[in-house]
Structure 1
Amino acid sequence: MSNRALRILIADDQHFHRMQIERTLNQLNYYRVAPVHRLEELLTLVEYACDPFDLLIINGTLATHSGFDLLDFCLDNPQVDHALIYDSQRFPPIPSSLRHRIQASRAELPDNEAIKRLMLHIDPPRLKAPRP
């Protein structure tokens, strides 16, 4: 069963990409999703959020166009627990010691299966306790 309380932030300048990712998350029963289309919106939401975001799904080109160090932002920001950076051709490989928090994909858009695997990593199924 999905943890419906997870807070997810999607950042992509293309509306279709944001909608596709959000639709996949909704199909997996995740509804606390905030889509943004500019890096400035993302930074504002993260800065003023009362609670951390459990997951940031971001198109890496948003940061590379502006010269913003997205990897450091994801690693050093206590308001971002996990991140998936996609369309990340210009990013260096993520060290294996950090892959539990940060994942990178060269794909232009994560497909449904990639998002399912990501959510299983972030929100693993809980075993039901046996009834006495």
Structure 2
Amino acid sequence: MSNRALRILIADDQHFHRMQIERTLNQLNYYRVAPVHTLEELLTLVEYGCEPFDLLIINGNLATQSGFDLLAFCLDNPQVDHALIYDSQRFPPIPSSLRHKIQASRAELPDGEAIKRLMHAIDPPRLAHRAGLPWLQELRGNGWSASAN
């Protein structure tokens, strides 16, 4: 079951890309999505937001066109927990020690499977809700819990 409280920010100058990503997120039961089409809008939402964004999905070309240091922004900003930078041909490879926070893709647009894998890493399914574990749900239904031992 997905965490419906996750806040997701999509930044891309192409309306069709924003719609495709948002539709994929909606199909995965994520609905707190804010799409923006300029770097300025993104910076305003992040700067004046009361809560951090759990995920920023951004077209890397928005930053490279203006010379903005997107990697430093994603790493150093407490208002951005995780980031996926796509269409990122101009970005250096992300060091493995930082991939828990930032992922980069050279694809022009992340496909549904890539977004699904990303959301699985950010919002892993809870053990009790996994299919194939009816014995666990049955134990819980009988009043058993791990803390009772």
Identity %: 89
**Structure with the higher helix share, 1 or 2:** 2
Q: Larger Rg: 1 or 2?
A: 2
Show the counterpart of 1:11.
11
- Give TM-score scaled by structure 1 length: 0.99
SS of the residue 1:120 aligns to: helix
Relative contact order, higher structure (CA 8 A, sep 6+): 1
Distance, in Å, in 2 between the alignment partners of 1:101 and 1:63 is 18
Q: Which residue of 2 aligns with 1:107?
A: 107
Structure 2: tracts of 5 or more residues without a match: 129-136, 144-149
Distance in structure 2 (CA, Å) of the matches to 1:84 and 1:127: 26
| Cross-structure match for 1:38 | 38
Alpha-carbon displacement from aligned partner over 1:109-128 (angstroms, at most 9, x marks no partner): 00000000000000000111
TM-score by length of 2: 0.87
In structure 1, stretches of 5+ residues that fail to align are: none
The amino acid across from 1:26 in the alignment is: N
Q: 1:10: Cα distance to partner?
A: 0.1
Instruction: Report the counterpart of residue 86 of structure 2 in structure 1.
Output: 86
Letter in 1 for 2:12: D
Alignment: residue pair count: 132
Misfit runs of 4+, over 3 Å: none
Deviation, structure 1 residue 108: 0.1
Deviations 1:6-31 (A, max 9, x none): 00000000000000000000000000
RMSD: 0.7
